[in-house]
Structure 1
Amino acid sequence: MIEIEEGSGNVYSDLGMTDADEMRVKAQLAGKIGEIIKARRWTQQRASEVLGISQPKLSQLLRGQFRGISEAKMLELLARLGRNVQIVVGPPRRSTKAGRVEVVFAA
């Protein structure tokens, strides 16, 4: 019988990566960048020109290879795609646990 374990919702954390939260956020941002490019039916070459990054770098980002790209750079790319980017710092948590970083995409 195959044993099934329920995931935490963060595959990077489930894999034991120390930067799991950062990787999850980057994956979400990269996914949104890819979604916008696809919706506009742009080639990677066209998108890379608008974004100001090389086509190979964009290709890596869209394939989930984004270790060399900061979250700030990804937010800049979303702004170049015409998206409003807001960073909201919420009230402190009541518990002693650390706060969390999450990405919320508004409609």
Structure 2
Amino acid sequence: MYEQNEITIEEGSSNVYADLGCVHAGEMQRKSQLAGEIGRAIKGRRLTQEDADALLGIDQSKVSCITRGRFRGISEAKLLELVARLGHDVRIVIGPVRRRPGKIELKFV
């Protein structure tokens, strides 16, 4: 006989890292988005990892790590630089001062 376990489904936020309780959830989400875009750009341009490392100026093992979602130890600034080297324009806009803490978000067009 099977014992049925009740499964509880909880709707998460738009940031899985925050849902998991990560301290730097916003940064992790942005880095994840950038790493995903790097992987898509490499695939879209049909670059081998060797071609990508030459274009990006980083070794093949780092390219592999980034495209597999292992970007710990790589700064957001470096990921933005890599996105730009792959042909994306990167624009940083500083908005007006508000009475609440500001936010950092990425917008892909």
In the superposition, the TM-score normalised over structure 2's length comes to 0.89
What count of residue pairs does the alignment treat as equivalent? 104
Distance 2:107 2:95 in 1: 13
Alignment map for 1:24-39 (pairs within 5 Å): 24-39=29-44
Deviation at 1:21, TM superposition (A): 0.3
Aligned to 2:105: 102
Corresponding residue SS for 2:33? helix
> In percent, how many aligned pairs have the same letter?
60
Corresponding residue SS for 2:50? helix
Aligned to 2:94: 89
Q: Based on CA coordinates, which of the two structures has the bigger radius of gyration? A: 2
Choose from 65, 68, 71 the match for 1:63: 68
What are the ranges of 5 or more consecutive residues in structure 2 without an aligned counterpart? 1-5
Distance 1:49 1:83 in 2: 17
Of stretches 84-93 and 60-69 in structure 1, the one that deviates more from structure 2 is 84-93
Query: What do you get for the CA RMSD once the two structures are aligned?
Result: 1.1
Structure 2 residue 86 is the aligned partner of structure 1 residue 43: no
Distance 1:78 1:47 in 2: 11
In the superposition, the TM-score normalised over structure 1's length comes to 0.91
What are the ranges of 5 or more consecutive residues in structure 1 without an aligned counterpart? none
Deviation at 1:101, TM superposition (A): 1.2
